[in-house]
Structure 1
Amino acid sequence: MRRPVTPLLAAVAFASCFGLPYPAMAAPEPPRLTVMVAETDTMGRVLTDPNGRTLYRFDPEGSGTVTCVGPCTDTRKPLLSPPGVELRLPPGIAGTLGTVPRPDGGNQVTYDGFPLYWYTDDVQPADTNGVDLFWHVINPRNAPVPAGKRS
């Protein structure tokens, strides 16, 4: 039984018969970054989620244990990762991403052991309204200057 000839296979066969270069194959897209880096007006360079929302850590969760559950998550939303998705930092950023299971379900992304959250009252990308006595932005080590911010 003969298989149908696909357009790509036909183009490769044509090119090889006449000594032409093979058609270019599109490179696969790299996996999406889990976190990004943004420049803020008051806190320097901070980690953000892919939508530009500033990410925070909660001091009592330093051991990687999730304690912000229930009403706490009304304003502090966990950064979740679907199972099997590769966690990726921007190039040049030091630190380690991981996940920790949440008591209320799902896997929460961690940075250097701290579970990550975004704050609902941050309206614009890189807002830092969620900083208080126990909640802090994450200033990653070795963070390059974001594009468009070089002086």
Structure 2
Amino acid sequence: MRRGRRRRVTPLLAAIAVASCLGLPHPAVAAPEPPPLTVMVADTDTMGRILTDLDGRTLYRFDREGDGNIACFRSCTDTHKPLLNPPGAELRLPPGIAGTLGTVARPDGGDQVTYDGSPLYSYTGDLQPADTNGVDLFWHVINPENAPVPAETTG
């Protein structure tokens, strides 16, 4: 007669087996935490919904930039601070916001966060969260769109 292999029972498996026999709920397995957001949104009276950094400072795009081209460096960054992505940090939009975050290498070092290809900056003249004092002929707030709602399936 051939003997079967002995199966090793771990404490977790034993607890699940006992809970099942007694009709108790199974121990919950925690879902992994999502990475932190990279940007947030704020609603303003004059500019509508805008992108902000994690401290609530309005984010701007510069008309003279795009497609990986950085034109705001040296003295320009005295008033317009680039939103930098920490090394290894995952980029993440708030839920329900459409668009794409990315990065572009800055000529003065670091990886700058982009939204739909536009490098993002805060403005030193904004004193309160969601201030929009940096808007002018070449600098604009980012008005993100809502993500499309998935179509419901009927069955």
Q: Shared fold by TM > 0.5?
A: yes
1:115 paired with 2:119, answer: yes
1:61 is paired with a residue whose SS is: coil
User: How far apart are the structure 1 equivalents of 2:81 and 2:74?
Assistant: 11
Deviation at 1:80, TM superposition (A): 0.7
Equivalent residue for 2:56?
Answer: 52
Residues 47 and 55 in structure 1, CA contact (< 8 A), matched pair in contact too: yes
Deviation at 1:15, TM superposition (A): 4.8
User: How far apart are the structure 2 equivalents of 1:18 and 1:44?
Assistant: 53
Distance 1:55 1:30, change over 3 A: same
Give the aligned CA root-mean-square deviation in angstroms: 2.1
- Match among 64, 67, 71 for residue 71 of structure 2: 67
Equivalent residue for 2:139?
Answer: 135
1:16 paired with 2:20, answer: no
The alignment covers a number of residue pairs equal to 136
Q: Which runs of 5+ in 2 are unaligned?
A: 1-9, 149-155
Question: Can you list the C-alpha shifts for 1:86-131, whole angstroms capped at 9, x where unaligned?
Answer: 2112223222211000011100011111100011221221111111
Deviation at 1:79, TM superposition (A): 0.6
Residues 36 and 89 in structure 1, CA contact (< 8 A), matched pair in contact too: yes
Distance 1:10 1:130, change over 3 A: same
Deviation at 1:65, TM superposition (A): 0.8
1:104 is paired with a residue whose SS is: coil
User: How far apart are the structure 2 equivalents of 1:14 and 1:111?
Assistant: 48
Q: Which runs of 5+ in 1 are unaligned?
A: 1-8, 145-151
Distance 1:119 1:143, change over 3 A: farther
Question: TM-score, normalization: structure 1?
Answer: 0.79
Equivalent residue for 1:38?
Answer: 42
User: How far apart are the structure 1 equivalents of 2:147 and 2:49?
Assistant: 7
User: How far apart are the structure 2 equivalents of 1:99 and 1:110?
Assistant: 5
Identity of aligned residues (%): 74
Equivalent residue for 1:103?
Answer: 107
1:84 paired with 2:85, answer: no
Residues 19 and 26 in structure 2, CA contact (< 8 A), matched pair in contact too: no
Deviation at 1:11, TM superposition (A): 6.4
Residues 12 and 22 in structure 1, CA contact (< 8 A), matched pair in contact too: no
User: How far apart are the structure 2 equivalents of 1:96 and 1:71?
Assistant: 28
